Amino acid sequence: MYTEYDSIIDSLIEKMSLDEKIGQLNQITGPLKDSQIEDIKTAIRNGQVGSIILASSSTAGNDPQGHVNIELYNELQRVAVEESRLKIPMIYGRDVIHGHRTVYPIPLASAAAFNEELIEECYRDIATEAASDGIHWTFSPMLDLCHDPRWGRIIEGPGEDPYVGACMARACVKGFQGKDLKDKDSIAACAKHYIGYGASEGGRDYHRTEIADATLYNYYVPAFREAVKAGVATVMSSFNDISGVPVTGSKKHLTDILRGKLSFEGFTVSDWGAVEQLQKQGVAASRADCAKIALEAGLDLNMCDRCYIEELKDLVLNGDVSEETVNTAVKRILRVKFAIGLFDRPYRENFAYDKEKHLENSRKLALESMVLLKNDNVLPLNKESRIALMGPFTHEKRSLLGSWVLDGKENETPSLFEAMTNVLGRKNFYCQSNSRFYDDTNYIYPNADVVIMALGESNLATGENRAVSDISLSLSQRELIDKIHATGKKIVGVFFCGRPMAMEGVADKLDAVLYAWHSGSETANAVCDILFGKAVPCGKTAVTFPRKSGHIPLYYNVTSSGRPVDCYYNENPANCYLDSTPTPYYPFGYGLSYTTFKYGEIKAQNNSILLDDLKAGKNIEISIDISNTGEFDGKEIVELYIRDRVASIMRPIRELKQFKKPLIKKGETINVNFSLGYKDLGL
Ligand code: NOJ
């Protein structure tokens, strides 16, 4: 797919000086201060800039960033394509992670929707908005599976399951890149962080990882393999080391696996400053060493630390690095520049898109992402009842958008208070309209039949470099829950969170729990749709909810310890913690609806199959009848797990292999089919 222009690229490379080649491997940072513009133009004119990252700090997800500025981007591009010797356009990248102007749910929430088509559609919207602002390339999707909700970056990924990770990879890449990367509403995607970053020890960001090959191939690789299969243009290497080898300098990971086994043809980009970090990690003696190790490992574009631009020329001239290695990296970068049509269309312009439709899609995905974790006959609420709203997230807007929002606007995001006022008016709706009074219990609760508590965590407690040691709800929120619980009122807890939080001692004091996540621009409207029965909840957890931090890591797809043999989550009260039961508070794949579903008998068309038949393409066909036995039409996520009982290595007790999400009308029974083939059953 990316090799189409190779002969043109080869002749272009022949014309390039060594300096110009190394310039293509250099990504500089922006947005750019006025005072820097002339120097940058000079560098561009001299062919020293291959790419600009449109972010001004390395942790762009949590720091305020400058605004996109298409006029400036076009002006700088003009210098590249009109004033540089070989007129090679630059590629502009920005962290458009889960939305651009319109913000969609954080990826961990989207994963809970188990709806690939909808995710793809939403990421199409995101690409459209970003492309209309002159962005060519996004550093997304983030595909880091994670077992540790203390890690702030768990919000950015697909959760704990490799199959869900692969589905997210496919949906996001197809959404971003569209039918043709050259289309004006497509942008190049970047599968990151390759690889194993989610295993950072103790959930502490950037920490070391220890990943054996069996885990690497069976657990961490599948999402990236799927991204490559879906045609992802670029891959970002991760900051972490794996067993003492930083990925940025690992030929095994960047070349042997990514290029050799996965057949990736696009270019790799380092994470911010990760090339010079090799020295800090203790595997390089100098910046020159860093450049040599990374380039020879297969790292093509150097994000921001200037190691390549400052060191590679001497390395080549001294014979320490071959010019051929430089050429290979240049070629891969040019492949993507050609594939996205930069040579034909270097300038970009704003174009109109259907903002209303994007908001609608954002609301749909938010609705499908939210998970009803508990409901003791309280929800949906009757709009005529007397409802109080309180809690620290009553008036919150920014956190609802989540971390990694560079261009979405807080002031265009309704708070829960505003959304509920819209639905209920102010009659029989008790809430102080001023954020200072979010826990003015005396004012609120005496009149109410039901109290809605807006709880959660700030977006600033999540994202890059924002690990926590304790996943409990803050003490003040737990105290507030205790206070309201003591009144005997019905309580609905709405949780605006980026990670699964410890619900023990919390959920048991609430009558209903809606996990709303940080679900983007339409979070509060979607919550209202669910609270008041306009929508029926249909999300399920894509990550395990441990009872407490001390139970981390806790994930469903664990192998059997053999002691005992068959426990889901491998828990055995007899030989686990002395002080607590490490069963999940909510397991992976869990979520309630307003309606009820009855599962029939699971049937396999063929109860056994020969390996040779499987290899020859025959599948195992599985089906099940599912009836909607409740009072609402509803969508149900039907999850198909397998267990490979005897294999050459231990396999998980449960492994998700496929899922379907049909809408089943009330009273209706439908037949759901699955088909498992050789690849699904292999390891
Ligand atoms: C560092 C982060 O790890 C990465 O995800 C992001 O894309 C880059 N910074 C660029 O902002």
Among 240, 272, 404, which is best to mutate for testing ligand 1, by the most ligand atoms less than 8 A from CB?
A: 272
Cβ(144) – ligand 1 distance below 6 Å: no
Domain ranges, residue 119: 92-339
Q: Quick check: 99 and 405 in contact, CB under 8 A?
A: yes
- Cα(637) to ligand 1 centroid in Å equals 33
In DSSP terms, 209 is beta-bridged to 242
Provide the strand spans (E) within 327-421: 371-375, 387-390
- Ligand 1: residue of 271, 303, 407 to mutate (most ligand atoms within 8 A of CB) is 271
Residue 35 lies in a domain: no
Shared-domain flag, residues 540 and 666: no
Distance of alpha carbon 383 from alpha carbon 424, whole angstroms: 7
Q: Which of 551, 584, 616 is the last residue of a domain?
A: 551
CB distance 55 to ligand 1 below 6 Å: yes
The pLDDT confidence band at residue 574, using thresholds 50, 70 and 90, is: low
The answer, yes or no, to whether any atom of ligand 1 lies below 6 A from the CB of 271, is: yes
The pLDDT, as a whole number, for residue 669 is 98
Query: Is residue 216 over pLDDT 90?
Result: yes
3-state secondary structure of 33: coil
What amino acid occupies position 167?
C
489 and 632 belong to one structural domain: no
The number of the ligand 1 atom at minimal distance from the alpha carbon of 58 is 9
- Residue 454: both structure tokens together: 């807006």
Q: pLDDT at position 443, please? A: 66
Index of the ligand 1 atom closest to the CA of residue 238: 3
The verdict on 363 and 398 lying in the same domain is yes
Greater model confidence, 55 or 328: 328
Same domain, 409 and 454: yes
In a domain, 583, yes or no: no
Q: Tell me, what's the pLDDT at 566?
A: 65
Q: What share of the chain is helix, strand, coil (3-state, %, to 5)?
A: 35, 15, 45
Nearest CA to ligand 1 atom 9: 58
What pLDDT score does 515 carry?
A: 99
- The rounded Å distance from CA 514 to ligand 1 centre is 31
Q: Where are the alpha helices (DSSP H) in 558-652?
A: 611-615
- Rounded mean pLDDT of 599-610? 92
Q: Which two tokens stand for residue 651?
A: 């396999």
Asked whether residue 582 is domain-assigned, the answer is no
Q: Do 526 and 659 have their domain in common?
A: no
What integer pLDDT is reported at residue 434 of this predicted model? 74
Residue 270 CA to ligand 1 center (angstroms) comes to 9
Q: Residue 541 domain-assigned?
A: yes
| Distance from Cα 404 to the centre of ligand 1, integer Å | 10
Q: Burial letters for 511-539: b for 16+ Cβ neighbours within 10 Å, e otherwise?
A: bbbbbbbbbbbbbbbbbbbbbbeebbbbb
Q: Whole-model pTM above 0.85?
A: yes
Beta-carbon contacts of residue 638 (< 8 Å; ≥ 6 apart): 624, 626, 659, 660, 661, 662, 672
Q: Are 652 and 663 in contact (CB under 8 A)?
A: no
Q: Where are the alpha helices (DSSP H) in 178-306?
A: 213-215, 221-229, 251, 277-280, 287-297
Q: Poorest-confidence range of 236-250, 567-581, 625-639? A: 567-581
Atom of ligand 1 nearest to the CA of 190: 7
How close is the Cα of 337 to the center of ligand 1, in Å? 21
Token pair, residue 633, equals 């039409």
Q: Which is the closest atom of ligand 1 to the Cα of 156? A: 5
Which CATH number is 655's domain given?
2.60.40.10
Tokens standing for residue 641: 């797990």
Element (H, E) at 191: strand 190-194
The pLDDT tens digits for 493-543 are 999 999 999 999 999 999 999 999 999 999 999 999 999 999 999 999 999
315-351 confidence digits (pLDDT tens): 999 999 999 999 999 999 999 999 999 999 999 999 9
Residue nearest to atom 3 of ligand 1 (CA): 271
Q: What is the pLDDT of residue 405?
A: 96
Report the separation in Å between the CA atom of 60 and the middle of ligand 1, taken as the mean of its atom positions.
7
Looking at per-residue pLDDT, the higher value among 34 and 518 belongs to 518
Report the pLDDT value the prediction gives residue 537, as an integer from 0 to 100: 98
**Cβ atoms of residues 93 and 192 within 8 Å:** no
Q: Is the pLDDT of residue 243 over 90?
A: yes
pLDDT at 433: 78
- Binning pLDDT at 50, 70 and 90, where does residue 289 land? very high
Q: Is the CB of 95 under 6 A from ligand 1?
A: yes
Q: Which contacts (CB < 8 Å, 24+ apart) does range 348-351 have?
A: 348/70, 348/73, 348/74, 348/131, 348/134, 348/136, 348/184, 349/70, 349/134, 350/70, 350/132, 350/133, 350/134, 351/132, 351/184, 351/185
- 312 and 234 in one domain? yes
Active site positions, annotated: 271
Count of other CB atoms within 10 angstroms of residue 563: 10
Angle between helices 416-424 and 523-531 (to 10 degrees): 50
Cα–Cα separations (whole angstroms), residue 116 to 120, 195, 677: 6, 23, 20
The band of 563, judged by pLDDT with boundaries at 50, 70 and 90, is: confident
How many DSSP H helices and E strands does the chain contain?
Answer: 22, 24
Domain count, the chain: 3
Which among 28, 95, 154, 269 is the best mutation to test ligand 1's pocket, defined by most ligand atoms within 8 Å of the CB? 95
- In sequence order, what are the beta bridge partners of 194? 237
Asked, for residue 571, whether it belongs to a domain, the answer is no
Mean pLDDT of 182-186: 98
The pLDDT score that the predictor gives to residue 441 is 67
pLDDT of residue 67: 84
Q: Is residue 274 domain-shared with residue 423, that is, in the same domain?
A: no
By three-state DSSP, how is residue 173 classified?
helix
**Phi, psi torsion values for 479, nearest 5 degrees:** -65, -40
**Which of 517, 532, 551 lies at the terminal end of a domain, its last residue?**
551
Establish if 29 belongs to a structural domain.
no
Average pLDDT rounded to a whole number, residues 180-193:
98
Domain co-membership, 330 together with 382: no
Q: What percent of the chain has pLDDT over 70?
A: 97
**CATH code, domain carrying 510:** 3.40.50.1700
- Check whether residue 469 and residue 528 sit in a common domain: yes
Residue 432 shares a structural domain with residue 328: no
- What is the number of the ligand 1 atom nearest to the C-alpha of 197? 3
Cα separation values, 505 from 231, 483, 580, Å: 46, 13, 13
Nearest CA owner, ligand 1 atom 7: 139
- The residue-averaged pLDDT of 583-595 equals 97
Cβ pair 450, 387 in contact under 8 A: yes
Cα torsion 527, 531, 537, 542 to 10°: value is: 50
Report the sign of the C-alpha dihedral through residues 442, 447, 448, 449, in that order: positive
Whether the CB of 404 sits within 6 Å of ligand 1? no
Whether residue 27 is contained in a domain is answered as no
d(C-alpha 38, C-alpha 535), whole Å: 54
pLDDT (0 to 100) of residue 607? 83
The verdict on the CB of residue 155 being under 6 Å from ligand 1 is no
Please report the pLDDT score of residue 35 as a whole number: 83
Flag whether 352 is in a domain.
Answer: no
Residues 430 and 539 in one domain: yes
Averaged pLDDT for residues 55-75? 87
Task: Tell me, using a 6 A CB cutoff, whether residue 60 lines ligand 1.
Answer: yes
Ligand 1 midpoint to CA 616 (Å):
43
Nearest-CA residue for ligand 1 atom 4 is 271
**Residue 455: pLDDT above 70?**
yes
Mean pLDDT rounded to a whole number for the chain: 95
pLDDT at 670 over 80: yes
What separation in Å is there between the alpha carbon of 153 and the centre of ligand 1?
11
Task: Give the distance (Å) from ligand 1 centre to CA of residue 472.
Answer: 27
Q: Is the Cβ atom of 272 under 6 angstroms away from ligand 1?
A: yes
415 within ligand 1 shell (Cβ under 6 A): no
Is residue 31 pLDDT above 70, yes or no? no
51 lines ligand 1 (CB under 6 A): no
- Distance from residue 1's CA to the centre of ligand 1 (Å): 26
Q: Ligand 1 in contact with 58 (CB < 6 A)?
A: yes
| Pocket lining: 368 vs ligand 1, CB cutoff 6 Å | no
Q: Which two tokens stand for residue 582?
A: 């490490």
Task: Say if residue 569's pLDDT is above 90.
Answer: no
Crossing angle of helices 287-297/307-317, nearest 10°? Answer: 80
Of ligand 1's listed atoms, the one at least distance from the Cα of 139 is 7
Q: Residue 323 maps to which CATH number?
A: 3.20.20.300
Which atom of ligand 1 is the closest one to the Cα of 61? 11
Q: Report pLDDT digits (tens) over 108-150.
A: 999 999 999 999 999 999 999 999 999 999 999 999 999 999 9
Q: For a pocket test of ligand 1, which of 28, 53, 65, 139 has the largest count of ligand atoms closer than 8 A to its C-beta? A: 139
User: Distance from the CA of 208 to the center of ligand 1, in angstroms?
Assistant: 17
Q: Pairing between strand 512-515 and 490-496?
A: parallel
Cβ atoms < 10 Å from Cβ of 409: 14
Query: 62 and 23 in contact (C-beta within 8 Å)?
Result: no
pLDDT, mean of residues 188-196: 98
Give the DSSP H or E segment for 674. Answer: strand 669-676
Q: 188 and 127, same structural domain?
A: yes
Q: 14-29 pLDDT, tens per residue?
A: 999 999 999 999 999 9
DSSP 426: S
